[in-house]
């Protein structure tokens, strides 16, 4: 069945892989599923046709036959559940990999996004100088813990899984702040994720939207 996802027509990062469709593209590439992309403008995202697919008027969405999904966590979990390659077969290992997906989205990503939001939207506010270090510390608290847990392992729980796909995607969002550089094992973990051929194909495809050049 044909899979269609949505992505930004013009991503604010110029196609550097930070918009959340990258995670979905990466998952589809890992499991070898071809997909089409419908590009949407910021205006089109808030129009009824797109709001029917995504109640919050965002990207990415995922369509496959009669199924329409939103939320990258749900989409990646769906892909990982349908196709081999992203979740272990053994039930307990599968549950742990799923826990890492949720940890990435619910525990690690929120402080990273909060810090980014403060930097982008509050730099002209009187509280900015005081608030930024506070939210930055919340990011560091989480990365300290994640770094301790990862140690010198390649991946979070055995082999590469959807949990790593999501965690690497989330950590990539903190790289521009420079914080990741203070955690050599996490920086190496992210680099391992980026070195996966499937990630490379996903990144190139997203960048191609911006450059207008075909990927590769």
Whether 146 contacts 71, CB under 8 Å: no
Binding to ligand GTB (CB under 6 A) within 19-48 occurs at: 19-20, 45
Kindly state the smallest distance separating residue 185's Cβ from ligand GTB, in Å: 24
Stretch that binds ligand GTB, among 9-17, 30-38, 151-159, 187-195 (CB under 6 A): 9-17
Shortest approach of ligand GTB to residue 157 CB, angstroms? 22
- The nearest distance, CB 122 to ligand GTB, in angstroms, is 17
- Cα dist. 108→18, 71, 175, 192 in Å? 16, 16, 13, 19
Beta carbon nearer to ligand GTB, 50 or 142: 50
Q: Positive or negative, the Cα torsion across 58, 99, 180, 189?
A: negative
Q: Which residues contact 164 (CB under 8 A, 6 or more apart)?
A: 100, 155, 156, 189, 193
To the nearest whole angstrom, how small is the minimum distance from the Cβ of residue 13 to ligand GTB?
A: 3
Task: Give the tokens for residue 76.
Answer: 């990646």
Does the footprint of ligand GTB cover residue 12 (CB under 6 A)? yes
Stretch that binds ligand GTB, among 12-20, 85-93, 121-129, 194-202 (CB under 6 A): 12-20
3-8 and 61-64: which strand pairing?
antiparallel
Please list every residue from 60 through 79 that binds ligand GTB, using CB under 6 A.
71-72
Nearest distance in Å: CB 54, ligand GTB:
8
Q: How far is the CB of 167 from ligand GTB (least distance, A)?
A: 14
Candidates 3, 9, 13, 94: give the one binding ligand GTB (CB under 6 A).
13
Closest-CA residue to 19 (of 203, 175, 213): 203
Contact 52, 69 (CB under 8 A): no
Q: Which stretch binds ligand GTB (CB under 6 A): 52-60, 130-138, 153-161, 203-211?
A: 52-60
By CB under 6 A, name the one of 3, 9, 18, 33 that touches ligand GTB.
18
Long-range contacts of 41-50 (CB under 8 A, 24+ apart): 41/9, 41/10, 42/8, 44/9, 50/6
Beta pairing class for 61-64 and 67-70: antiparallel
Give residues in contact with ligand GTB (CB under 6 A). Answer: 11-13, 18-20, 45, 57-59, 71-72
């Amino acid at each position: 069945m044909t899979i269609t996802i949505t992505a930004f027509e013009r991503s604010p990062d110029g196609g550097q892989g930070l918009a959340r469709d990258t995670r979905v593209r990466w998952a589809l590439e890992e499991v070898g599923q071809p997909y089409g992309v419908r590009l949407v403008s910021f205006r089109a995202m808030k129009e009824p046709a797109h709001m029917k697919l995504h109640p919050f008027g965002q990207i990415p969405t995922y369509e496959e036959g009669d199924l329409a999904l939103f939320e990258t966590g749900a989409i990646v979990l769906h892909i990982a559940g349908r196709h081999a390659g992203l979740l272990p077969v053994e039930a307990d290992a599968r549950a742990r990999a799923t826990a890492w997906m949720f940890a990435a989205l619910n525990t690690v990503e929120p402080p990273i996004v909060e810090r980014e939001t403060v930097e982008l939207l509050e730099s002209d506010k009187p509280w900015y100088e005081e608030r930024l270090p506070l939210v930055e510390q919340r990011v560091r608290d989480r990365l300290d813990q994640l770094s301790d847990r990862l140690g010198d392992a390649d991946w979070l729980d055995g082999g590469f899984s959807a949990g790593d796909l999501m965690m690497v995607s989330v950590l990539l969002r903190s790289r521009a702040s420079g914080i990741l550089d203070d955690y050599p094992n996490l920086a190496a973990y992210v680099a391992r994720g980026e070195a996966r051929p499937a990630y490379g194909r996903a990144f190139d495809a997203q960048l191609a939207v911006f450059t207008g050049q075909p990927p590769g």
